[in-house]
Chains A and B, each alone.
Chain A
């Protein structure tokens, strides 16, 4: 994943850098997907159309974004607008319009999730992969074990260890202020699939 800041990515995209555009889509693809599919609960077909529409608008209007560091809220607002337009076009109720606080709360949670997800890039490739497979791709121990050639008995402990490392990356103070006993960071809360 490209480690450039949002402002740098925006600047490179404006200069026609295809790799920067791909990095932007990689960085925000999950976020936009979560907004349209989870917050607004569009059906899969509409969600895909809206997903593409959001990135088309972002691409077309990137020159109008004054502050490249405001990319994330700008994308969120674009996704909101596109999702609401889609719901209106389909004649479906727009329940979230009636409770904007609920949408704001859901988006705040996604912002936090995006920060956690970005921290995955600061882990070893092995930790990144196993956490991504288990939590984001919802793969079972069996699948992970087969794909990564790991004995299934070691997967839970490896996930727990990588999760603890991710916690340290996100908030090193947790470690300094007193790490919990290893048992509390073991596979107990991971939940086997």
Chain B
């Protein structure tokens, strides 16, 4: 028979903290999105910049000082497609 304390302990163990850095990266999303919005605006008004983005998105982001994480790249690709 499981005591209430054992059940509570079991439930506490069911939610370990995510590995270091995961939550911190997610918290930075609003800032990253602002940077991406700036890049998207530039893509819309600068044809050569757009060509660079389409040719090699990751390289363009690095040049602009943005880490091309999978989430950032996926987000930008979605926005470029719309």
Contact = CB atoms under 8 A, between A and B. Distances in A.
A185 B22 CA distance: 35
Interface residues of A, number: 50
Contacts of A16: 30
What are the nearest 3 A-B pairs in CB distance?
A: A135-B12, A33-B18, A55-B26
A171 B8 CA distance: 11
Contact of A135 (B9, B23, B27, B29): B9
B11 A51 contact: no
A55 B29 contact: yes
B11 A112 contact: yes
A87 interface: no
Contacts of A112: 11
A167 to B, nearest CB: 5
A52 B11 contact: no
Interface string B64-82: 0000011100110000000
A30 B71 contact: no
Interface string A96-124: 00000000000001101110110010000
Contacts, number: 109
A56 B79 CA distance: 13
Interface stretch (A3-11, A21-29, A66-74, A144-152): A21-29
27 contacts: A16-B30, A21-B27, A25-B26, A25-B27, A29-B17, A29-B23, A29-B26, A33-B18, A38-B14, A48-B19, A49-B71, A51-B18, A52-B26, A53-B74, A59-B29, A109-B14, A116-B11, A116-B12, A117-B15, A136-B15, A138-B16, A160-B5, A167-B5, A170-B8, A174-B4, A180-B3, A189-B9
Residue among B18, B22, B25 facing the most chain A CB atoms (10 A cut-off): B18
Interface in B10-40: 11-19, 22-23, 25-27, 29-30, 33
Interface of B: 3-6, 8-9, 11-19, 22-23, 25-27, 29-30, 33, 69-71, 74-75
